[in-house]
């Protein structure tokens, strides 16, 4: 066999050496980040779990064995908190006020954000920054003038006044978030709808608003959490008639009215009642929240 007749052997392709130190550093960084997230998750979940388990114990079990499981499920703790401490009444009051305030906030915030994101007019940036500037002022700085404004308007101690105040304080964040989200929506869809004869009003409610659903749900959940957990504003603006109190006021009254009695089982049951709607809404809409947060960052 001649040299030409011999089979050609392909030379091995050189393989670049792997950067093992870099991979080790990346692996260590991932382990540390996952470990921190796990620690943070346990730090958040365990107190809620302990509170929920304690709501089914007796007061003796809570004091003698605070970390143990209940011997039996004492549902009467929840009944005593719902009726005896009037937590049920305060729960329904908060549900009515928060539903109205979130609806009003989303309606006004979405319309304002859409105008800022889609229309050019003189003074647009000035008005937009006036809205966003509201994020820099904490609530407690305006409590005294807010008290007199609400009282002089005849809305002191009413749900209408509290709804308007909740909506006013939630508008800056809502406008800021939704303006950035509306800017990410495709302009071609709006232009096609206008060519087909769609007016500005119909374009917003029939085309653009459904496309902004992920962002709307995200902001609505954030506003719901903020309004549901609000204590300072109801404490200042809802004095007097305790039948109109919010849930946070009722829980505070329950905790301080016990004195030396120490009915911890009823207190934990009331706290669990207050937390359950928040957990249920987040579990039901967690995908929409994540989609809204990520979609608002991309174009």
Question: pTM for this one?
Answer: 0.80
Q: Which domain holds residue 44?
A: 23-54
Do 153 and 202 sit in the same domain of this protein?
Answer: yes
The predicted structure's pLDDT at residue 299: 44
User: Per-residue pLDDT tens for 177-197?
Assistant: 999 889 888 888 888 888 888
13 pLDDT tier (thresholds 50, 70, 90): low
42 and 104 assigned to the same domain: no
Question: Does one domain contain both 33 and 133?
Answer: no
Number of domains comprising the chain: 2
Is residue 18 included in any domain, yes or no?
no
H or E stretch at 149: helix 143-152
Confidence (pLDDT) at 132:
87
Residue 159 and residue 77: Cα distance in Å, rounded? 29
Asked if residue 46 belongs to a domain, the reply is yes
Q: Indicate if 133 and 176 belong to the same structural domain.
A: yes
Q: Which residues contact 112 (CB under 8 A, 6 or more apart)?
A: 131, 171, 175
Share of the chain above pLDDT 90, in %: 23
Compute the distance between CA of residue 159 and CA of residue 93 in angstroms, rounded to an integer: 9
pLDDT, position 152: 92
pLDDT at 1: 46
């Amino acid at each position: 066999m001649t040299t030409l007749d011999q089979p050609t052997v392909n030379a091995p392709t050189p393989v670049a050496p792997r950067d093992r130190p870099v991979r080790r550093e990346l692996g260590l960084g991932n382990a540390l980040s996952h470990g921190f997230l796990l620690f943070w998750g346990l730090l958040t979940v365990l107190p809620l779990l302990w509170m929920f388990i304690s709501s089914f114990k007796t007061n003796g079990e809570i004091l003698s064995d605070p970390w143990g499981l209940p011997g039996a499920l004492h549902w009467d703790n929840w009944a005593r908190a719902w009726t005896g401490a009037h937590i049920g009444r305060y729960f329904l009051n908060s549900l009515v006020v928060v539903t109205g305030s979130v609806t009003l906030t989303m309606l006004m915030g979405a319309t304002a954000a859409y105008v800022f994101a889609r229309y050019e007019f003189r003074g647009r940036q000035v008005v937009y920054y006036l809205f966003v500037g509201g994020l820099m002022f904490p609530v407690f700085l305006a409590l005294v003038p807010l008290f007199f404004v609400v009282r002089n308007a005849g809305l002191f101690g009413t749900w209408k006044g509290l709804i308007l105040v909740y909506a006013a304080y939630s508008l800056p964040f809502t406008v800021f978030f939704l303006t950035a989200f509306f800017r990410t929506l495709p302009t071609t869809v709006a232009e096609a709808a206008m060519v087909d004869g769609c007016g500005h009003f119909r374009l917003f409610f029939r085309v653009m608003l459904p496309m902004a659903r992920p962002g709307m749900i995200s902001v609505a959940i954030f506003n719901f959490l903020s309004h549901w957990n609000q204590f300072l504003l109801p404490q200042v603006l809802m004095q007097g008639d305790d039948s109109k109190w919010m849930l946070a006021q009722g829980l505070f009254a329950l905790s301080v009215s016990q004195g030396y009695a120490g009915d911890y089982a009823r207190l934990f049951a009331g706290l669990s009642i207050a937390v359950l709607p928040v957990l249920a809404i987040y579990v039901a809409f967690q995908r929409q929240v994540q989609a809204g947060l990520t979609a608002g960052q991309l174009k």
